[in-house]
Amino acid sequence: MEFKHVSVLYNEVLENLNIRENKIYMDATIGGAGHSKGIAKILNNSGLLIGIDQDKDAIKKSQEVLSEYENVKLFNTNYKNFEEILDSLHIKKVDGILLDLGVSSYQFDKGERGFSYRFDSELDMRMDKSSPLTAKTIVNEYSKDELYRIIKEYGEENWAKRISEFIVQERKIKKINTTFDLVEVIKKAVPKGARRDGPHPAKRAFQALRIEVNDELNVLKKSIYKFVERLNPGGRLAIISFHSLEDRIVKNAFRYLYSDCVCPPEQIICTCDKKREIEIITRKPIVPTKEEIKNNNRSHSAKLRVAEKLEVSHDEENNC
């Protein structure tokens, strides 16, 4: 199956990254290189474009898409390792970073990857296929309380308790090996009335398992601050999220980085020494137009937030 992924908010991303020739940009979740090809065109073989993805298929596709450009370096790893990549290239700071979160259309539509409840396959859900943890391991080995926490917290699922109980009951009879095995358990757990309204009954639980398998939220929380540290003054960080948990993390991180003081409100004198590090470019997130949603329904929940690194003291080091 060919790696296909429609780049969400394509024009909005390119405009808000403020791309300039002879500068360094990083696409930390390059996917099918849709956004990156736009960045590369603007750079016009000047500067450098760094692409990162933990999915080998994404890197292979990116190599094809960007083959005409010489100023591109691609790395097959999780974006949490981006600092090691920059250090290996002897680069201290970059001028723009893009993070397009979530799962690509290719990963959803390639049934054997186990991301989708629409295809029957092994319960996998790994973005990095070399990782030892799979959704099947979680479903069959995690305790009832652990399953409840994951499905409730990461899936925001109202029926998390019943689903976790039914999973534990079912696996006593036989192992839950496939996506359809799990879908059937979830359908038994969620009452018919609840199943008639809203999304597919397995949607939230599958999202929760995928997040746990790939440690998505923890990686995002830790990385945002490091991204800003490695931006040149005037450099921008653009993040596209696809559900409220991701967006909340981005919004709160930007709010903290924008703050001049984080002392308690009742404290009269500031003692925290906190300094504002960014300007928030998007006071409200940029969302897809009706036309984009019509052409690509998977874009409907996308939100783009952008921040710009503020000027720092003159002794701050620039790129090597």
Instruction: Please tell me the distance from the alpha carbon of residue 135 to that of residue 141, in angstroms, as a whole number.
Output: 10
Instruction: Please tell me the distance from the alpha carbon of residue 129 to that of residue 132, in angstroms, as a whole number.
Output: 8
Encoding tokens for residue 169? Answer: 């009951």
Distance, C-alpha 80 to centroid of its chain: 11
Encoding tokens for residue 78? Answer: 């999780």
Instruction: Please tell me the distance from the alpha carbon of residue 120 to that of residue 261, in angstroms, as a whole number.
Output: 51
The percent helix, strand, coil of the chain (3-state, each to 5) is: 45, 15, 40
Instruction: Please tell me the distance from the alpha carbon of residue 125 to that of residue 112, in angstroms, as a whole number.
Output: 9
Of 158, 176, 299, which is closest to residue 241 (Cα–Cα)? 299
What angle is formed at CA 237 by the lines to CA 283 and CA 80, rounded to 5 degrees? 130
Per the annotation, where are the binding residues for S-adenosyl-L-methionine? 33-35, 53, 79, 100, 107
Instruction: Label residue 297 left, alpha or beta by phi (over 0 means left) and psi (-120 to 50 means alpha).
Output: alpha
Strands, DSSP E only, in the chain? Answer: 24-27, 48-53, 72-76, 94-100, 231-241, 278-280, 303-309
